Structure 1
């Protein structure tokens, strides 16, 4: 009887420590499915109680995330993670409209602007509010805030994505906000 109990304990222990693969020989996670997954019934979460979403990373591993983290990591909406820096702006292959909504920290001035960026051509002003934007060259433009602050914005291309950095060249404070990129692929 002791041997049977010991054998059952060993099976339960090793089963609890193992990884299960469905249509895969060498699973890399606790449950590793090679193929599509179907869930026939999911309970609704009434608003506004939904706090997390289910998403996958680049390897296809499921993780939970928030709505805002999901939307801002898409490359279509990019918020400044630190003052004056935006990463992973989606610029597409030919051109992209960048819509910005932000604030100057010291003065508390909210402002918006939109620029069209064409690969190899540079920036063109689409709209502006409380700012004057002057293109300088193919990857740089300036933001003049009417309270006397000036920021030089430099775009660094990384394939279809880009990083933006706004360096203060006059006045005080820093800017934060969100870029929304609308790529033009044709």
Structure 2
């Protein structure tokens, strides 16, 4: 848990009457980062809307999907989000283009107005959205590792077998008919 990012009741934010600011400096249990997550989060209760904005940064270590080598990736977040307080926003309640769910900056989430805002969860979600779907260490990637033993001169080198696929190879081998039986 990141110190100081405890959940806050939305009613408390409303009673505050001004934005609440959290300074972020720590590590998150579900996001293994090499450096502490640093930045700030600001939330303001604006009637039926909670406006949350933040600036965050950290560095994480990933494994390349091609060469299986480790590399570091910097995660930086500069985001502003509007969260509807109540059930799903209807067209009658949403009259400005800023609140239209069809535009990228519009309403994307809803919270119970009697509930809580969890700044630590918001930090985790924003940083997770910055992570690559495919981990690739860059243009210098050597590609899949090649077999280190020297095969016969007539056969081309074959890539090393990835141990993550061993269960599939075992299943395929168990489905093969025994080779000592003659084919009909």
TM-score normalised by length of structure 2:
0.29
Structure with higher helix content: 2
Give the TM-score taking structure 1 as reference length.
0.29
Considering fraction of residues, name the structure with more strand: 1
